[in-house]
Chain A
Amino acid sequence: MSRLDARFASLKEQGKRAFITFITAGDPEPKMTVSLLHHLVAEGADVLELGMPFSDPMADGPVVQKANERALAHHMGLSQVLQLVVQFRQQDKSTPIVLMGYLNPIECMGFEKFAAQANAAGVDGLIIVDMPPEEADEVIQVFEEHDLAPVFLLAPTSSDARIQRACELAKGFVYYVSLRGVTGAQVSDYQEIADQVAKIRKHTSLPVGVGFGIRDGATATAMGRHADALVVGSALVNCVEKYATDPHTMKQAMSQVMRDIRAAIDGLPALEK
């Protein structure tokens, strides 16, 4: 069983939802990333999403855009991202890591080379924001050969047919983008989340994660009810930005965000089995 499947299975066993955290690799500088990842796990992260920096992150809001710029100032390429995963895995063999980014750097490295190295480094899944199912055939096959789970995004505007197609191809979990907008924006329609997640569940038994708008305990409570996993990014990246030169305070700020959200997640009513 893959690390992702094992983690979701064990959480389900305990009747818990997964807390997925996002930070960008190399932000604010490469030497801090591994320590931040361990810190997130210590504060209750179940799955780690790690951003692969790209010069043109068109689905991201200003907070994550700036994180990309800070990382790229340190020439954070894919090889360096994978190096960080190797370092992380020296101490943590069980927390799943999902890389999130854009297609061009991966294509530039070569799908086969990237997938082989990612698997060897200990990566478990991939979210490629600008690779919808219709452009994914070649890549998915390569990922499968290297035991990498392709995680697809679904949106409020996804049709039934698109939901079905993404669910057929997805492994690990399905990522529901809870709003019309970019990362870090605000959700206005909670009922829509419930409705779309219900539709997704008709097509897959994979866990459904919800993200793009959870920033504290209150939003986690409001949005997390129907989800198996909650993804938090910009709220954590904000801490990195605000205390970029003071790692100690940065971690304290992250802890505060983490504890607030973790408590909210664990306080949600149990999911129906």
Chain B
Amino acid sequence: MNDTRRGWEHLAQMPDAKGHFGQYGGKYVSETLMGAISELESAYKHYLQEAEFLAEFDEDLKHYVGRPSPLYFAKRLTAQVGGAQIYLKREDLNHTGAHKINNTVGQALLAKRMGKPRVIAETGAGQHGVASATVAARLGLQCTVYMGEEDIRRQAINVYRMRLLGAEVVPVSSGSKTLKDALNEALRDWVTRVEETFYIIGTVAGPHPYPAMVRDFQSIIGREAKEQMLAQVGRLPDALVACVGGGSNSIGLFHPFVNDADVEMYGVEAAGEGVSTGHHAAPLCAGSPGVLHGNRTYVMQDEDGQIIETHSISAGLDYPGVGPEHAYWKDMHRAQYVAVTDQEALEAFHLLTRVEGILPALESSHAIAYATKLAAARSKDEIVLVNLSGRGDKDVHTVASLEGIEI
């Protein structure tokens, strides 16, 4: 079936001129930020069409990030699962250990072009903070990273990495002291030092143009994967699987396939202790439309419209909102959104480590967990492509302490 018949033909052209994906997206920020957002929008429109900028971005991805990342056939995992063939897109092999660097390289180049001497970022697990501090060090930019007090406690090694890279890490003690509060604090910083500061948002959320811009920078994942599939296997995969927190690694993999209507897409949210317990981070599966952090999207909220606290074993998925393009794709049924629990993710973490010798990030372990379920139900000539978005070294302490082991 082609996408015209399914009503998907317009998806590749989103967002519209005002940054909307249907009813989602937009620019829901205070007037104090609108000047900065407009400035960024012009720069984004200009440079993402400019051959010189794109060439520099490609060079950096190749020589600094280490792209292209391999497409790897997980032979023993496939045999163990006993169904469809499982391929892994190895974003864990990028410099700094996750897909996050693709976007921070792009945004830092943009910051430089815009003449901003200072970048700021929010971080949950610390991966985006490390990726931001890394590119700031490389380009000689000042860097301040906001991180919830709770996350600073959980991710001490990443905090130290950021400081080694010359970044200032500012603890955030308001609200739930996690990623969403770090984002609030970064927005407050931006408003205060707006003219000199570039805010590197780590995911496909926030006000327009961030969801579109971060997607464009992360789409390298899907473009490569497509070429690699055709070169290595001679055809496109039947299904794509990626974890969804804010949604940048998943949109990065999915977007280049949006017009390939026969390629199914599965975004995997964090079910935490189980979606029915309320202790989860699955706004697409169990939330409702609302406005948070500059865009309309699915959010986790109570009956008064207050944003509620989330739970996931994985700090990178522990966020009550999600990128607006995913919200739209959910409503349009272009992708399906599912959730796996902490326990299932942990099992997948061990499984991949043991049978393939690859330690996945807990975020990516959610994708692995769902992919094994999906593959088990499919025939052996089908192909499931999973985005292995990050490596698990940062999670070794978490996993050990959950299992009562002291390191």
Contacts and interface: CB of A to CB of B under 8 A. Distances in A.
Contacts of B307: 55-56, 104
A154 B335 CA distance: 40
Contacts of B191: 59, 180-182
B331 to A, nearest CB: 17
Interface string A49-85: 0000111111101100110010010010110000000
B95 interface: no
Given A56-B292, A105-B304, A153 B31 contact: yes
A130 B194 contact: no
B194 A157 contact: yes
B32 A105 contact: no
Interface in B6-53: 18, 26-32, 34-36, 38
Chain A interface SS verdict (over half): loop
A251 B294 CA distance: 36
B174 A105 contact: no
B293 A56 contact: yes
B138 interface: no
A104 B292 contact: yes
Contacts of B187: 58-59
Interface in A146-169: 152-155, 157-159, 162, 166
B379 interface: no
Given A180-B192, A181-B192, A65 B174 contact: yes
Given A105-B304, A105-B305, A180-B192, A158 B31 contact: yes
Interface bin, chain B: 35 or more
A177 B304 contact: no
B31 A104 contact: no
Interface in A119-140: 129-132, 134-135
B35 A158 contact: yes
Which of A59, A103, A166 has the largest count of B CB atoms less than 10 A from its CB? A59
B35 A182 contact: no
B34 A56 contact: no
Interface in B303-327: 303-308
A260 interface: no
A262 to B, nearest CB: 27
Contacts of B293: 56, 58
Contacts of A55: 175, 306-308
A154 B31 CA distance: 6
Given A157-B194, A158-B35, A180-B194, A134 B304 contact: no
Counting chain A CB atoms within 10 Å of each CB, which of B27, B174, B299 scores highest?
Answer: B174
A41 interface: no
A102 B183 CA distance: 16
A61 B188 contact: yes
Contacts of B286: none
A225 to B, nearest CB: 22
B366 interface: no
B291 A104 contact: yes
Contacts of B308: 55
Contacts of B299: 104
A199 to B, nearest CB: 14
A78 B31 contact: no
A222 interface: no
A130 B294 contact: yes
Contacts of A134: 18, 26-27
B193 interface: yes
B305 A180 contact: no
Given A132-B27, A157-B32, A185 B192 contact: yes
A197 to B, nearest CB: 15
A155 B194 CA distance: 12
Given A62-B174, A152-B31, A158-B35, A54 B192 contact: no
Contacts of A142: none
Given A55-B175, A159-B35, A182-B188, A132 B290 contact: no
Contacts of A109: 305
Given A69-B175, A130-B294, A159-B35, A106 B305 contact: yes
B304 A56 contact: no
B304 A130 contact: no
Interface in A8-65: 53-59, 61-62, 65
A102 B303 CA distance: 15
Contacts of B291: 102-104, 107, 130
Interface of B: 18, 26-32, 34-36, 38, 174-175, 180-181, 183-184, 187-188, 191-195, 290-294, 299, 301, 303-308
Given A155-B32, A182-B192, 19 more contacts: A55-B308, A56-B293, A58-B293, A59-B188, A77-B303, A77-B306, A104-B292, A105-B306, A108-B305, A153-B32, A157-B34, A157-B194, A158-B34, A158-B35, A162-B31, A177-B31, A180-B192, A181-B192, A185-B192
7 contacts: A54-B306, A58-B293, A59-B32, A59-B191, A107-B290, A153-B31, A181-B191
Q: Which 10 A-B pairs have the closest CB atoms?
A: A108-B305, A157-B35, A77-B304, A105-B305, A181-B192, A153-B31, A55-B306, A59-B30, A155-B32, A55-B307
